[in-house]
A and B are shown apart, each in its own frame.
Chain A
């Protein structure tokens, strides 16, 4: 194992985060605060509790997930896309590093950054609404697994994307509908039966539901099913990444 290489890639990526502190940390915090002001304080105060939880508190896990997914996909994809774009990828390809080491370096950094921002959002949320975490270990497990698997998913997008348009496709066009329709802001019990069924095809539902369960013990789907879904997604992403490195897909001619 080339630990120095993992350390170098990780440190390089984290340094990039520090250079873009406003964009990476301040802007998600402001966005989330706006959600809490609008949905939590302004509208939330006029809304009923959802399954015994005040509305502002109910949406907190979903908002954390929304930020976590965007951060992880964004960082994971940009981290590998940028060297591809500038050509500095030559150095990674010609270094004595294995696929696993490259992935640990890039995905580890993207997930770390996602987790840092996610934690900041959690702290911000607790300033606006009362948050309780009934299963802290499960909450951390969901938090970390989601961060890792979606950073890996982002990494794959970064390798696949051939321009900035494709790079932004997932974070801008695909993730928001999945998150908004995945029960981040409502319980799917509120939906007509047909749309409840449709929602079950949305992977984000399982994430948000499992994550929310670790806070308030309320869930749209069984938390075990949620956990298995996240693990399954992680395995699929690992498999595709292994294939990418084996074939050199879009990395090597």
Chain B
């Protein structure tokens, strides 16, 4: 199946000479959740802004559902929803009116039943007649989402959806994303929170200095780079690792009481049980055992660090 969003050699340079995007290629499949990770100023928002029509690209092309974003902007913008990073809302409008406005702006006839459902889903319905300036930050974030959903987009961009949002709202947001995915909506979200990407994304893209460093299936990425470490605390220190334990490739800590063993979680056998029996055969008394998994965060820090 053809990707729903196809980005080819997309570049953006500003008059100041700053290159925000340096030839980005990216395909986004229909129905997937793609998380774009990257530090501030990496080019995430610029990329999204170009696709949505807020920023003019310097070069390259983007198609959404087969339509060019510049030539066929009506078709592409009708199916794209955008929840911007900044909480930009008209202060003097009511919740209901601003959501209805978004729907009309996208060429859809009024549908009060749909808007009511969206507001209820986002726990906003009891605030429908409240002026936007009286809402809390978290509520405004929900309003921005309601606005983007009001015209039932097929592709939804969430730019830092959970920045500055409390834990409850973050969990709600994740549930919402799941629900939208079930409805077949393609979701692209940018985030600083690696936990978030780990939790909800199907694929993960890492972007830095205007370049995509990597795009990979989350599970494959975790498996490829996600090593696990087993640490064994010994009862008494040993001078050297006994020969019988050499196949395990252990490393011995400085005090001589700590052995670490690295294994791959995706392998069929982790080798932990044979290691443990080998330890007792070697006469070593085990005091404590702990395991640790390298997280997406480690992978991310490693990648972005290399990119420097």
Chain A residues packing against B (C-beta within 8 Å): 2-5, 7-9, 11-12, 15-16, 19, 82-83, 86-88, 90-98, 248, 252-253
Contacts and interface: CB of A to CB of B under 8 A. Distances in A.
A75 to B, nearest CB: 15
A253 B147 contact: no
B88 A16 contact: no
Contacts of B82: 90, 94
Contact of A96 (B14, B54, B103, B106): B106
Contacts of A11: 101, 104
Given A91-B147, A93-B54, A5 B106 contact: yes
A90 B54 contact: yes
Interface stretch (B73-81, B169-177, B195-203, B256-264): B73-81
A82 B89 CA distance: 11
A252 B82 CA distance: 17
Contacts of A5: 104-107
Given A86-B88, A91-B147, A4 B80 contact: no
Contacts of B80: 94
Contacts of A86: 88-91
Contact of B105 (A8, A15, A87, A252): A8
B55 A96 contact: no
Contact of A9 (B91, B105, B147): B105
Nearest to A83: B90
A233 B75 CA distance: 34
Given A2-B74, A19-B92, A86-B91, A94 B54 contact: yes
A97 B75 CA distance: 10
B270 interface: no
A15 B109 contact: no
A248 B105 contact: no
Given A86-B90, A90-B88, A97 B56 contact: no
Nearest to B55: A253
Contacts of A95: 77, 105-106
Nearest to A8: B104
Nearest to B87: A87
Residue of A3, A86, A90, A94 ringed by the most chain B CB atoms within 10 A: A94
A16 B92 CA distance: 8
Interface residues of B, number: 34
Contacts of B91: 86
B61 interface: no
Residue of B78, B93, B106 ringed by the most chain A CB atoms within 10 A: B106
Contacts of B104: 4-5, 7-8, 11
15 contacts: A2-B107, A4-B103, A5-B104, A5-B107, A8-B103, A9-B105, A15-B93, A86-B90, A90-B52, A90-B82, A94-B80, A94-B82, A96-B73, A248-B56, A252-B54
B77 A15 contact: no
B101 A94 contact: no
B27 interface: no
A252 to B, nearest CB: 5
Contacts of A9: 105
B77 A96 contact: yes
A87 B104 CA distance: 19
A63 to B, nearest CB: 31
Given A96-B78, A252-B56, A88 B105 contact: no
B97 interface: yes
B53 interface: yes
Contacts of B147: 91
A49 to B, nearest CB: 48
A9 B100 CA distance: 11
A162 to B, nearest CB: 15
A252 B55 contact: yes
A82 to B, nearest CB: 8
Nearest to B102: A91
A4 B108 contact: yes
Contacts of A15: 93, 97
B31 interface: no
B129 interface: no
A92 B107 CA distance: 12
A2 B74 CA distance: 9
A247 B106 CA distance: 23
A96 B88 contact: no
B112 to A, nearest CB: 14
A253 B56 contact: yes
Nearest to B53: A94
A3 B109 CA distance: 10
Contacts of B86: 87
A11 B101 CA distance: 9
